[in-house]
């Protein structure tokens, strides 16, 4: 069963229908689809051995369920439906398969036999239906081409290393940084004191002018016959 490497991913293509085995979006059904580049067509291989017999489990890459045979009838004849099942028991039989070469000289073409003795097959009438059927009813509909998927991982470009800074250069840079910081503090203080001086000058000057005008107005009311010695000066505020 070298067509099914343990841990690898494969696609199964019906040799007659030329379509791929797909996991349905409902997480339950299985059908055939011509779409090749889809997670629904990818199945991860799990290999187990039971009673000395190598078995294959196909784990759907899309929904995390396994290719399983059910007991639901799929007419005509005595066929059964294939579904997506859960592998929650080591003794579960519905998800166990063995691969047998079709015997036509192409080792990539296999028959998938369920542990119940039935074979995975495409359907002749319903073109997208997938079932299991007895070997007593042989058909090329049971032939499946196995395509192994190879993961393509491209390494990202590695950036060149950043040149290291010498300790001497680092010490000079630190000294310059402290010098520039000190100069900045001095200039900031000078700007603050200049602004504060201007604020005091304007505030005190305005207050004195308002006091002077108020005094002259009071004297004029008290002594209306006396000319004011100075003309009125309006405060700037």
Return the domain boundaries, the chain.
9-149, 166-237
| 69-112: pLDDT as tens digits | 998 887 666 788 999 999 888 888 999 999 988 877 677 899 99
Given the structure tokens 């396994």, which residue do they identify?
66
List residues bridging with 29 in a β-sheet.
83
Residue 127 has pLDDT above 50, yes or no: yes
CA 186 to chain centre: 52
Domain 9-149, CATH: 2.80.10.50
Looking at residues 198-203, what average pLDDT do you find? Answer: 58
pLDDT at 94: 92
Q: Please state, as a whole number, how many other Cβ atoms lie within 10 Å of the Cβ of residue 101.
A: 14
The residues facing 46 across adjacent strands are 57
Alpha helices in the chain (DSSP H): 167-222
Cβ 22 vs Cβ 29: under 8 Å? no
What does the angle CA 101 – CA 106 – CA 107 come to, to the nearest 5 degrees? 45
Two structure tokens written together for 108:
């990539």
- Range with the poorest average pLDDT among 83-87, 111-115, 141-145, 185-189: 185-189
The predicted model scores a pTM of 0.61
Residue with tokens 């991982």: 153
């Amino acid at each position: 069963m070298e067509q099914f490497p343990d841990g690898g991913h494969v696609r199964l293509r019906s040799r007659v229908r030329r379509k791929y085995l797909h996991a349905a979006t409902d997480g339950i059904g299985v059908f055939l689809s011509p779409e090749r580049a889809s997670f629904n067509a990818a199945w991860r291989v799990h290999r187990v051995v039971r009673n000395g017999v190598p078995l294959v489990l196909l784990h759907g890459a899309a929904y995390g369920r396994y290719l399983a045979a059910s007991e639901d009838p799929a007419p005509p004849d005595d066929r059964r439906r294939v579904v997506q099942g859960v592998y929650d028991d080591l003794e579960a039989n519905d998800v166990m398969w063995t691969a047998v070469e079709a015997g036509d000289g192409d080792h990539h073409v296999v028959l998938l036999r369920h542990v119940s003795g039935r074979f995975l097959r495409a359907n002749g009438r319903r073109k997208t239906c997938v079932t299991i059927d007895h070997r007593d009813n042989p058909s090329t509909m049971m032939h499946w081409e196995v395509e192994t998927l190879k993961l393509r991982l491209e390494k990202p470009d590695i950036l060149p290393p950043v040149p290291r800074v010498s300790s001497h250069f680092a010490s000079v840079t630190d000294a310059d940084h402290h010098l520039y910081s000190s100069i900045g503090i001095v200039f900031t203080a000078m700007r603050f004191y200049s602004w504060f001086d201007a604020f005091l000058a304007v505030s005190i000057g305005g207050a004195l002018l308002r006091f002077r005008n108020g005094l002259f107005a009071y004297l004029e009311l008290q002594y209306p016959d006396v000319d004011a010695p100075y003309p009125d000066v309006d405060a700037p505020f």
